[in-house]
Amino acid sequence: MEAKTCNESRVVRTSRIFPNDVNNHNTMFGGKLMSDVDMVASISAVRHCRRECVTASTDSVDFLSPITQQDSVCFESFVTWTGTSSMEVFVKIIAENLITGNRKIAATAFLTFVALDENGKPTKVPGIIPETVEEKKLHETGKERAENRKIHRKNSKELASYFTTNKPWE
């Protein structure tokens, strides 16, 4: 299986912010942003392996600067690191004030996707070839994030063993 460049999985989507996209602070609703992040990241994952993929985890979403109705919001996503059947996808969210042209990094996110074969089982994915400074930095730090995800997942499963499925009112 031949490795692919980050650019082969790149997705760029730009939208305006409308009144139904904002919260009570008149900034972009976090849940709307997270939905958009998952959407573009899922396209990057499928583009990378050309197979059906599922979101295994949203590893982090860091809200760095508010997005307002005066802004457009640009989502840029691409695969940064791969395991055997999993892919890390990075999403950079840039807000641009449409009047002044000022741009800022509004948020960043890392998600993990797993590629599936025809039977819905995890299957191998191509490696990744970073080319730009940004891609190289994300790729070289990807293995550490993957190891941290494994630890986090183990801890989450352990904690979940204490939870019940009982109805709260019973």
**CB-based contact 57:149 (threshold 8 Å):** yes
**170 confidence band (pLDDT: 50, 70, 90):** confident
Locate the domains of the chain by residue range: 4-160
Q: What is the pLDDT of residues 15-39, one digit of tens each?
A: 999 999 999 999 999 999 999 999 9
The pTM score is 0.92
CA distance 49 to 47: 6
25 Cα distance to chain centroid:
25
- Kindly give the residue spans of alpha helices, DSSP state H, lying in the chain: 30-49, 133-140, 142-160
Of 13, 146, 136, 5, residue with least CA distance to 79: 5
Reference 115, options 60, 58, 44; nearest CA is 44
Which amino acid is it at 58?
T
The three state secondary structure string of 53-98 is EEEEEEEEEEECCCCECCEEEEEEEEEEEECCCEEEEEEEEEEEEC
For domain 4-160, the CATH superfamily is Hotdog Thioesterase (3.10.129.10)
For 58-87, how does the pLDDT look when each residue is reduced to its tens digit (9 = 90+)? 999 999 999 999 999 999 999 999 999 999
| pLDDT at residue 155 is higher than 80 | yes
